């Protein structure tokens, strides 16, 4: 196991270096002069030159690249061009909100998705299976901003149970919970749909295995076979999928945060886009990619931990 | 047994695919819904009761009526007409971006799988890097950098789909290049380009096509999401994402403005997912013998 972990960690290093390179290139594909784009056509030559110097655009590309890499590796993602604050500080300020939303969505997704998936698999090609399959496919088809708007319409505007937009002061835990419910349900429904489908197909594969037949032949009760013997093994691919779909979840959280006017990484990136804050954008891209690479790494390691076959060369 | 000729693989694979797909009634319903939406989009100039850009200022924010079936927006524009024309934008951008990703991604995947070795490692590492960015974030940044236009939207969405297509094309290529008929081609002195284009491509085509249909739903959803954030085709051109954005801003005055285009996206994506579900069965090796 330690050798596997070391190998996997080493593999993540070139990926992260390439991620940094891609971010550097992406932010610099702006047609024309970024300084001019930021300041607008009316800006004086003086102001443009000053901004170019401030953000290092007057340096040759390779110097900019080395500078960016050197700082990023040391954990310095620069300062926002608009607020002047360090990018990482701004990220840390909103990170808890995105993290709590993502965790809540995953918990909801697993709590709803697992039993639904097991139900569908154990009643394959019968009514509960058809309903679960159609409903989960419908769940996957909902663009998160559409479901967010529908949730707001029903539960915030018509029924008035929840706030339409997130409260500006979230310091009270109850207010914070109340403001989390609708966004979490919105993302959790998508997650539940994914988990249901993966659990179903994974359970179907496991239920056809020899050891399940043996358990049945031994006369074990059906519940014990399904929940103790089959589900335990079916969970391995499910755990991987939960990790892999975290990327989709984080992407969708952008839209949900925008619709619910909720603080978070997504709202920060949309704000940076509208204000053309390139350093903040660059930093946020690195943060997003870092999260995905980290989650993939953890998913692989978890997989290796629960399934020893993975570690074999 | 028929002589093994790679050129025959395509029709046989397609025949089998059509048979398995045709037996799946739910997927056929999905396909029918999608084709109806395509027909409605194509016939938009004939079916639209009004010009989608015409502003009927006196009839702002009307609810459904005999004149305006789905009501009007804040500028008094007919929602039904905008919905029909908006379908064109969604479908054209969705189809074009998937086509671009399909062509470039397949070439990358086949080249990586066919030549193997260091080239394969470098290419697939690069694809892994592309996969390190959440799809929507990648689309967001590329459109924001290049500027919102139809072409740039297509480039952005295609870029997010490139890596999955490369992976799908690479896996079967690795298996096929070891087969005897490829060895025979090499012995006959065929160039690598000819082997890849004439003998490898037809064998991986079915998988790529299935992936294409699965990604169409995602592409349409990304386009709508980008338009919703304000990075879609510039107004006043009708797009479903843009209509939802306008509707959301006026949600307290008229809820239907956001709901109708939202349901339209949901319907198309759901229909495509139904199709994709059936197609996934086609590529499932466990069903190959059936």
Quickly list H helices, chain A.
2-27, 34-39, 45-54, 61-73, 87-122, 127-141, 144-151, 173-207, 210-217, 222-224, 231-244, 246-259, 265-274, 278-306
* pLDDT of B110: 95
Dihedral sign, Cα of residue A147, residue A153, residue A159, residue A161: positive
| Tokens, residue B38 | 């395509």
- Domain membership of residue B25 (yes or no) is no
* pLDDT of A31: 67
- Expressed in angstroms, the distance from the first to the final Cα of chain A is 11
Question: Using a CB-CB distance cutoff of 8 angstroms, which residues of chain A are in contact with residue B255?
Answer: 153, 157
Picking from B70, B21, B111, the residue whose alpha carbon sits closest to that of residue B243 is B70
Provide the ipTM.
0.86
Give the mean model confidence (pLDDT) for residues A256-262: 92
Picking from A113, A295, A304, the residue whose alpha carbon sits closest to that of residue A201 is A113
* pLDDT of A225: 83
Question: Using a CB-CB distance cutoff of 8 angstroms, which residues of chain A are in contact with residue B259?
Answer: 149-150, 153
Nearest to A15 among B128, B262, B263 (CB): B128
| Chain B residue with Cα closest to A282 | B141
| Chain B residue with Cα closest to A267 | B229
* pLDDT of A6: 86
- Domain membership of residue B66 (yes or no) is no
Give the mean model confidence (pLDDT) for residues A189-198: 92
Name the least confident of A102-106, A121-125, B81-85: A121-125
Helix (H) or strand (E) holding B174: helix B150-176
- Domain membership of residue B254 (yes or no) is yes
Q: Which residue has the tokens 């089959």?
A: A230
Question: Using a CB-CB distance cutoff of 8 angstroms, which residues of chain A are in contact with residue B145?
Answer: 26-27, 29-30
* pLDDT of A307: 72
- Domain membership of residue B175 (yes or no) is yes
pTM of the model as a whole: 0.87
| Tokens, residue A23 | 């971010």
CA A178 to chain CA centroid, Å, is 22
- Tell me which range, A73-77, A301-305, B60-64, is most confidently predicted by mean pLDDT: A73-77
* pLDDT of B9: 54
* pLDDT of A175: 85
Who contacts B231 (Cβ-Cβ below 8 Å, separation ≥6)?
A273, B140, B143, B144, B148
- Domain membership of residue B47 (yes or no) is no
- Domain membership of residue B102 (yes or no) is yes
Neighbours of A35 (CB within 10 A): 20
| CA A131 – CA A125 distance, rounded (Å) | 10
Name residues of chain B where pLDDT drops below 50: 1-7, 287-290
Domain that holds residue B111: 94-283
- The total number of structural domains that make up chain B: 1
Cis-peptide, bond into residue A50, ω within 30° of zero = no
| Tokens, residue B140 | 């967001």
- Domain membership of residue B145 (yes or no) is yes
* pLDDT of B96: 97
B140 touches chain A (CB under 8 A): yes
| CA B137 – CA A310 distance, rounded (Å) | 31
* pLDDT of B284: 60
Q: Where residue B217 sits, what CATH number does that domain have?
A: 1.10.3720.10
Picking from B155, B133, B143, the residue whose alpha carbon sits closest to that of residue B231 is B143
pLDDT of A132 > 90? The answer is: yes
Q: Which residue has the tokens 């496991």?
A: A206
- Domain membership of residue B259 (yes or no) is yes
Q: Which of B24, B26, B94, B129 to mutate to test the interface with A (most CBs of A within 10 A)?
A: B129
* pLDDT of B290: 38
What letters, b where the CB count within 10 A reaches 16 and e where it falls short, cover A292-306? bbebbbebbebbbee
* pLDDT of A289: 87
Closest-CA distance of chain B to residue A1, Å? 24
What letter does residue A108 receive in the DSSP assignment? Answer: H
CB B136 within 8 A of CB A20: no
pLDDT grade for A273, boundaries at 50, 70 and 90: confident
| CA A141 – CA A133 distance, rounded (Å) | 12
Picking from B249, B60, B253, the residue whose alpha carbon sits closest to that of residue A149 is B249
Who contacts B273 (Cβ-Cβ below 8 Å, separation ≥6)?
A137, A140, A141, B30, B217
The answer to whether the Cβ–Cβ distance between B229 and A27 falls below 8 Å is: no
């Amino acid at each position: 196991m330690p050798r596997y972990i070391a190998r996997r960690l080493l593999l993540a290093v070139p990926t992260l270096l390439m991620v940094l390179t891609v971010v550097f290139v992406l932010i610099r594909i702006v047609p024309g002069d970024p300084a001019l784009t930021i300041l607008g056509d009316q800006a004086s030559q003086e102001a443009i030159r000053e901004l170019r110097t401030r953000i290092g655009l007057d340096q040759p590309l390779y110097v900019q690249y080395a500078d960016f890499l050197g700082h990023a590796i040391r954990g310095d993602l620069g300062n926002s061009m608009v607020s002047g604050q360090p990018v990482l500080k701004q990220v840390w300020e909103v990170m808890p909100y995105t993290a709590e939303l993502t965790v809540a969505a995953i918990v909801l997704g697993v709590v709803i998705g697992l039993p639904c998936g097991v139900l569908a698999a154990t009643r394959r090609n019968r009514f509960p299976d058809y309903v679960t399959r159609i409903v989960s496919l419908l769940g996957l088809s909902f663009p998160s901003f559409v479901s967010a708007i529908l949730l707001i319409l029903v539960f915030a505007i018509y029924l008035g149970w929840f706030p339409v937009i997130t409260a500006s002061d979230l310091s009270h835990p109850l207010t914070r919970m109340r403001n989390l419910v609708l966004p979490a349900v919105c993302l959790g429904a998508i997650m539940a749909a994914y988990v249901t489908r993966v659990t179903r197909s994974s359970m179907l594969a496991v239920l056809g295995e020899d050891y399940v037949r043996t358990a049945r032949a031994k006369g074990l009760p059906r519940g014990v076979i399904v929940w103790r013997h089959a589900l335990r093994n079916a969970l391995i691919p499910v755990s991987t999928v939960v990790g892999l779909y975290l990327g989709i979840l984080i992407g969708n959280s952008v839209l949900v945060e925008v619709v619910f006017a909720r603080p978070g990484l997504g709202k920060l990136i949309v704000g940076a886009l509208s204000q053309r804050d390139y350093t903040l954008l660059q930093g946020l891209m690195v943060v997003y990619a870092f999260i995905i690479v980290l989650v993939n790494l953890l998913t692989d390691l978890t997989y290796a931990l629960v399934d020893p076959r993975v570690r074999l060369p | 047994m028929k002589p093994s000729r790679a050129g025959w693989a395509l029709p046989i694979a397609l025949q089998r695919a059509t048979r398995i797909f045709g037996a799946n009634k739910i997927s056929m319903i999905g396909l029918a819904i999608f084709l109806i939406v395509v027909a409605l989009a194509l016939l938009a100039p004939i079916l639209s009761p009004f010009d989608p850009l015409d502003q009927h200022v006196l009839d702002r924010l009307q609810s459904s009526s005999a004149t305006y079936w789905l009501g009007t927006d804040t500028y008094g524009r007919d929602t039904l007409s905008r919905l029909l024309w908006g379908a064109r934008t969604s479908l054209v951008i969705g189809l074009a971006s998937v086509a671009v990703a399909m062509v470039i991604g397949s070439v990358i995947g086949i080249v990586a799988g066919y030549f193997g070795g260091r080239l394969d490692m470098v290419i697939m590492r690069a694809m892994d890097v592309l996969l390190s960015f959440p799809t929507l974030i990648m689309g967001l940044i590329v459109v924001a950098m290049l500027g919102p236009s139809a072409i740039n939207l297509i480039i952005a969405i295609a870029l997010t789909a490139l890596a999955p297509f490369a992976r799908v094309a690479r896996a079967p290529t690795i298996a096929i290049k070891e087969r005897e008929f490829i060895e025979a081609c090499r012995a006959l002195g065929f160039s690598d380009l000819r082997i890849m284009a004439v003998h490898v491509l037809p064998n991986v085509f079915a998988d790529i096509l299935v992936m294409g249909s699965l990604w169409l739903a995602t592409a349409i959803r990304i386009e709508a999401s980008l338009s919703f954030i304000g990075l879609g085709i510039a107004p006043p051109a009708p797009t479903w994402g843009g209509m939802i954005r306008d509707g959301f801003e006026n949600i307290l005055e008229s809820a239907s403005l956001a709901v109708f285009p939202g349901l339209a996206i949901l319907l198309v994506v759901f229909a495509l997912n139904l199709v994709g579900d059936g197609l996934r069965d086609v590529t499932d090796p466990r069903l190959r013998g059936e």
